[in-house]
Amino acid sequence: MTTEELTVVTETETVAVKVPVEFRQWLKGGYGLTPEQVLQAFVHDLYGTVDSNGSDERRMAEEWFDRVIWPAPPAGRVFQAQSGQWSWAIEQDGVELVCGAGYASEGAADEDMQEQLSNYT
């Protein structure tokens, strides 16, 4: 049996989330819960904190998260062109956002790409 490492939360922040009034009423009437309680429990399950509701809940939260279509973060790649010069491209969801070419070394291309990539995070 392997021991899963859980995250210890040392700091929190408050966020405002709009929820349908009917959702709040449904939770309160049927379960005696608030949206804050439900969303907080889900966050602990998804992030895998020591306050999660168990391994099954963590697995199911992760499966839900993976099934929802979130935009992929921009990703960069460095490559050598047929000319021998180095190039780079930053793409998101298969669409090229920006590129650079004509670098003498892979390191120079990567350094410039990383600088450009930082503009997207």
Q: Per-residue DSSP letters for 50-63?
A: TTSS-HHHHHHHHH
Same domain, 59 and 99: no
| pTM of model > 0.75 | no
Pairing of strands 95-103, 75-80: unpaired
Same domain, 19 and 42: yes
Same domain, 46 and 101: no
Domain boundary among 70, 86, 107: 70
Pairing of strands 86-92, 75-80: antiparallel
Q: What is the pLDDT of residue 120?
A: 82
pLDDT in tens, 11-65: 999 999 999 999 999 999 999 999 999 999 999 999 999 999 999 999 999 999 9
Domain carrying residue 87: 75-120
Residue 49 per-residue DSSP state: B
Q: What is the CATH number of the domain that holds 109?
A: 3.30.160
Same domain, 15 and 56: yes
Same domain, 110 and 55: no
Domains contained in the chain, number: 2
